[in-house]
Amino acid sequence: MNNFSTLPRQTYLAQVCLRSLLALTAAGYGSGAWCNDATLINPLHTARAAPQPAASSTSAPASAASAADRSDAPIISLRSTVAKQLREAIEQSNAASGIKKKSAAEIAAAEKSAAKNPHAVAAKGRNVPAEVRSRRMTPAIAARTASSHGQGAVHEAHGAPHWSYEGETGPQAWGQLQPSFNLCAIGKRQSPIHIEDSEALLGPAEPLQISYLPSGGSVVNNGHTIQVDLAGENTLTIRGSTYKLVQFHFHHPAEEKLNYKGFAMVAHLVHQNAQGQLAVLAVLFDPGEASAMIQKVWTNMPLDVGDRVSLPVGLIDLNETLPKDRRYYQFLGSLTTPPCTEGVLWLVLRQPMTLSREQLKLFAQLFPNNARPTQPSFGRVVREAQ
């Protein structure tokens, strides 16, 4: 990012401004991290972040604007002027490059939210964006450190754009928020999809070989969903490959639709094989009897974004949340959250489970709508298996 000759003029000016600020404040205000990529990727976010006296790699870069707001030093007015110029230069740069200016409310929301990708446990592969790949963890590491969200927090702090399920950063805009999100807009194998029996290929049978054991782990509220990072040995074998269950999370309403029917909720059980490929088993829920599994998760539900609650060893037994009827739909799709990475094997169980209205209401109060709309199938094959 420091090859000035290839940078747009406004971006170059922004870097000059940043360096000027850095020089001006080297004595006491700056963190030394202002001229990093994050600053340029998400300058408005950065400009409102609090100053970090000893910024680490996980801290938000120090703020030009908020530092400039300090009134206890004569240098302030100069800093304020430079900060204003910096912000204007960056805004012009963004406008020229098509980056949408964020509203103050969005910036505040982005700062408040340690936004993470519920699907990006350890995505890896030919089509996976570099920043996802570079933060790849093995499932064992993810389980041990339960830090897939810590990774997300790092990502956010370094300028990943805020995304949401409504408004200017909603699903319709995901593909434009950042170049690495462009599959959200142009991908031809996106999820979720509307599954219709009349268009699905029937059989032959390929039973899911599921081996789930009572497991512990932790529950996190990542700002987009409630997610359980599992620590146990849980595997799914399908299409000649064994995938390890890394995490599961919820969407309300369900993202999938079956034969024009929607569902109140879906649990996505995210598995990964040794090659880093992902397989997601979707369990649908209708209102009805309470779910024992959901009760355990909700009991330990973190209420604040970024909070994590440890689960007792052996608490979660996912066998109790799988339907008796193991018929399922099989197709290739994507992550349903940015960066919408494709090459994900989707396995959607036909028979819904149930959760109580109280259980649904609790989640809905935190997440009124965290479902991506269905995406075009572009003629892809959906196989009805077993």
Q: Please report how close the Cβ of residue 251 comes to Zn ion at its closest, in angstroms.
A: 5
Q: Which is nearer to Zn ion, 102 or 268 (CB)?
A: 268
Q: Give yes or no: 224 in active site.
A: yes
- Residues that bind Zn ion in the complex, under the rule CB under 5 A: 268
Q: Which is nearer to Zn ion, 136 or 268 (CB)?
A: 268
Cα–Cα distance, 333 to 316 (Å, whole number): 27
Give every CB contact of residue 83 below 8 A, 6+ residues apart in sequence. 21, 47, 64, 65, 67, 68
Q: Which is nearer to Zn ion, 252 or 296 (CB)?
A: 252
**Six-digit token string for 284:** 């649908």
Q: Please report how close the Cβ of residue 144 comes to Zn ion at its closest, in angstroms.
A: 23
Q: Please report how close the Cβ of residue 120 comes to Zn ion at its closest, in angstroms.
A: 11
**Six-digit token string for 38:** 């994050």
State yes or no: cis peptide before 161, omega within 30 of 0. Answer: no
Q: Please report how close the Cβ of residue 225 comes to Zn ion at its closest, in angstroms.
A: 7
Q: At what angle do helices 76-97 and 9-25 cross, to 10 degrees?
A: 160
| Backbone Cα Rg of the chain | 23
Q: Please report how close the Cβ of residue 270 comes to Zn ion at its closest, in angstroms.
A: 7
Q: Which is nearer to Zn ion, 268 or 271 (CB)?
A: 268
Q: Which is nearer to Zn ion, 268 or 350 (CB)?
A: 268
Q: Please report how close the Cβ of residue 127 comes to Zn ion at its closest, in angstroms.
A: 18
Q: Which is nearer to Zn ion, 17 or 293 (CB)?
A: 293
Task: Count how many Cα atoms sit within 13 Å of the Cα of residue 210 in the half-sphere of its side chain.
Answer: 23
Task: Count how many Cα atoms sit within 13 Å of the Cα of residue 13 in the half-sphere of its side chain.
Answer: 16
Neighbours of 216 (CB within 10 A): 17
Closest of 341, 333, 335 to residue 382, by C-alpha = 333
Annotated catalytic residue: which of 149, 162, 224, 249?
Answer: 224
Report yes or no: 270 and 245 within 8 Å, Cβ to Cβ: yes
Closest of 180, 203, 184 to residue 192, by C-alpha = 184
* Alpha helices, DSSP H, located in 194-252: none
- Please list the active-site residues: 224
